[in-house]
A and B are shown apart, each in its own frame.
Chain A
Amino acid sequence: MPKLPAPPLPSALKAPPPRPGEGNGKAPTPLEQAGGAGISVVDWVDERTSLSGAARWLMFRKVPKGTNWFYTLGSATLFAFLSQAVTGVFLAMYYRPDPSGGAYESIRYVTNDVFLGQFVRGMHKWGSSVMVILVFLHMGRTFFFGAYKYPRELNWVIGVVLLILTMVMSFTGYLLPFDQRAYWATIVGVNINGTGPLVGPYLSDFLRGGSEFGATTLSRFYAIHMLLIPGLLVALIGAHLYLVTKLGTTAPPWVKAEQPTELRETEV
C-alpha cells in the first residue's frame, strides 16, 4: 500500500530546531524549546495512538477533477448539526421538561434573564431550519450528480435515514418550549399520524404515551429529542463519513472520463 507523502506543515508544527551539540553547538534557547512544544505534544499522542495516519486518510484524500462548491453542502450540514448539538447542550442546562408550567418558565428565563440566552436559543431555533435546508440541498446535489450509484448505494440509504431522523428531531424539539404554538402544532402533528389506516391510532398513542396528551408526553418528547435521536444521528453520521472517505467522491456528471491512449482513435 503506497504511503502518501507527508503534507506541508504550518510553521508552528515544524520539526524542532537542531539539538544541542548539532548545528551551532549551543544549547536550545527557551524560545526554541517553547517552539518545539507543539509538535512534541502531537508526537506524544501520535506515538501512542497512530492517529496521524487516520487524520491524513480523512483529510488529505484525493478528489476528482471538477470538484466544486456543491461538494461543501455535506460538510455544511455537519457543521449545522454540531452547532445544534452545542447550543442544545447549553439550552438543556436550563430547560425543565415540566408540563405544568416549568417548561414554559424555563424557556422564558433563558430568553429574558440569562446572559446571551436569547442568542443561544435563537441559534438553536434558526439552526434547525438551516440544517433542514442544507440536508435537502445536499440530498439534491447527491441525486443530480448520480453519487448514489454503485458502490455508494448504502451511503444513500444511510443518508435517507439521517433525513428522517432530522425530521423527527425537528418534530420533537418543536414541542419543548410548550407555548400555545408548540402545544397545538404537536396535537395536530400527532393526530396526522393517527389518520394512517390500521396502525395510525397505535402510532399516535405511542408518540403521546397514551390516548390523551398526558403528563409523560412532554418528557417522552424530551428524551427522544435529547438522547435517542442524537445518539442514532452521531452513529449514522460516523458511518456516513466513513463510507464517503473509503469510497471517495465522484466527479460531477459533466466531467467525462479520459479514454486510455490505446483506445483513442488515431488521427487521420
Chain B
Amino acid sequence: MSDKHAKHKSKYTLDRQIPGAFEGETITRRRFMTGTAHTAGGIAAAAFTLPALGFAVGPIFKSTPHRWETVGTVDQFPDNNYIPVVVTLTPGIGEAGKATIYVRKFNPVLDTDRYDLDTKYIAITSRCAHLGCPVRWVDAAERFICPCHGGVYDLLGRPVGGPPVRPLDRFYTRVEGEYVQVGPRFSVNSQLRRFSPRDPGEPLDGIGQYLYPSRPGAQKL
C-alpha cells in the first residue's frame, strides 16, 4: 500500500491487493453482482416511472389540430358593433369546451394598423387578458368590460382601464362562399402585432415575448 499514490492504480485486482483475487481479474465478483443487481433494479424502476412521467407530462407537448368553425353568413356582421357567437374551443367535453366570441366586419376607418389590412372579419375572444374571466361587449359604452377585476377594453380590444396587460386575443377568420369561419386563436401585443396564443396575464411587449415563451402544445402560428 506504500506506493499506492506513486503510480497509476492497476486495473487488475491482484495488483491492488484485494483479497481473493484471481490472476487477470479486473473486477471482484462482489462488485459485479452488486452492480448487476443495481442495474436490474434501475431498469425495473424506470420501466414504470418513465411511462408514468410521460403520461403526466405528455399533454403539455400535444398540439391540437387547427379547426375552422362556421359562425354565420357574410351579411350578419356589422362593422361598428360586435355580434356574440358561441364556438367550440375544445371538442369532446360538452359545455365546458364552448366559449363566446365577438365577431364584426373589418372597418377600414378604425382598423388602421398594418398587421390587420388583409382580414375581412375581426373575431375577438371573450377571455380577459388579465386572468381569464369572460368579458362582455357593452354597445352603449363601446367597451369590453370584465366583471372580475374591472378590466376595460376599447373597440379594438386594447386595454383602456384596469389590470389587463395586453389586448384581447383574436381568432383567424376566413370567408368560405357566403359563410364566415373562425379558426385558431392568436395573441396580440399593444401594437396589435400577432403572436402565438398565450395565456392571460402574460404581457407581450418588449421582453415579454421572451419571458413568456409560447409553449410546445400551443399552435405555432
- Cα A136 to Cα B134 with chains together (Å): 34
Q: Which residue of A lies closest to B130 (CB)?
A: A191
Partner of B197, one of A101, A188, A211: A211
The answer, yes or no, to whether A214 is at the interface (CB within 8 Å) is yes
Report A-chain residues with C-beta under 8 Å of the C-beta of B132. Answer: 184, 187-188, 190-191
- Cα A178 to Cα B96 with chains together (Å): 9
Q: Which residue of B lies closest to A178 (CB)?
A: B96
Choose the segment among B6-14, B26-34, B57-65 that binds chain A (4+ C-beta atoms closer than 8 Å). B57-65
Question: A211 and B217: CB pair below 8 A?
Answer: yes
Report B-chain residues with C-beta under 8 Å of the C-beta of A197. Answer: 211-212
Q: Digit string of B112-150 for contact with A (CB within 8 Å is 1, else 0)?
A: 000000000000000000011110000000000000100
Question: B96 and A212: CB pair below 8 A?
Answer: no
What is the total number of residues of chain A having a CB less than 8 Å from a CB of chain B? 29
Question: B202 and A194: CB pair below 8 A?
Answer: yes
Q: Digit string of A177-198 for contact with B (CB within 8 Å is 1, else 0)?
A: 0100001100110111011011
Report A-chain residues with C-beta under 8 Å of the C-beta of B199. Answer: 191, 194, 200-201, 204, 211
Question: B96 and A100: CB pair below 8 A?
Answer: yes
- Cα A216 to Cα B217 with chains together (Å): 14
Report A-chain residues with C-beta under 8 Å of the C-beta of B177. Answer: none
Question: A210 and B62: CB pair below 8 A?
Answer: yes
The answer, yes or no, to whether B95 is at the interface (CB within 8 Å) is yes
The answer, yes or no, to whether B93 is at the interface (CB within 8 Å) is yes
B127 to chain A, nearest CB (A): 8
Question: B215 and A192: CB pair below 8 A?
Answer: no
The answer, yes or no, to whether B89 is at the interface (CB within 8 Å) is yes
Q: Which residue of A lies closest to B62 (CB)?
A: A210
Question: A100 and B62: CB pair below 8 A?
Answer: no
A202 with B201: in contact, given A187-B132, A215-B93 (CB under 8 Å)?
Answer: no
B197 to chain A, nearest CB (A): 7
Q: Digit string of B210-221 for contact with A (CB within 8 Å is 1, else 0)?
A: 011111011000
Question: B60 and A198: CB pair below 8 A?
Answer: no
Question: A188 and B95: CB pair below 8 A?
Answer: no
Report A-chain residues with C-beta under 8 Å of the C-beta of B134. Answer: 184
**Chain B positions 188-221 with a Cβ under 8 Å from a chain A Cβ:** 197-202, 211-215, 217-218
What is the total number of residues of chain B having a CB less than 8 Å from a CB of chain A? 32
Report A-chain residues with C-beta under 8 Å of the C-beta of B148. Answer: 184, 188
Question: B133 and A212: CB pair below 8 A?
Answer: no
Report A-chain residues with C-beta under 8 Å of the C-beta of B97. Answer: 214-215
- Cα A261 to Cα B62 with chains together (Å): 74
Question: A216 and B59: CB pair below 8 A?
Answer: yes
Partner of B96, one of A194, A201, A205, A213: A213
**Chain A positions 84-101 with a Cβ under 8 Å from a chain B Cβ:** 99-101
The answer, yes or no, to whether B94 is at the interface (CB within 8 Å) is yes
B214 to chain A, nearest CB (A): 8
A256 to chain B, nearest CB (A): 52
Report B-chain residues with C-beta under 8 Å of the C-beta of A191. Answer: 131-132, 199-201
Report B-chain residues with C-beta under 8 Å of the C-beta of A202. Answer: 60, 215
Interface CB pairs A-B, < 8 A, 25: A100-B92, A100-B93, A100-B94, A183-B96, A184-B133, A187-B131, A187-B133, A191-B132, A191-B199, A191-B201, A194-B200, A194-B201, A194-B212, A200-B202, A200-B212, A201-B198, A201-B199, A202-B60, A205-B59, A205-B60, A206-B56, A210-B60, A210-B62, A211-B199, A214-B93
Interface residue ranges, B against A (CB under 8 Å): 56-57, 59-60, 62, 64, 89-90, 92-97, 131-134, 148, 197-202, 211-215, 217-218
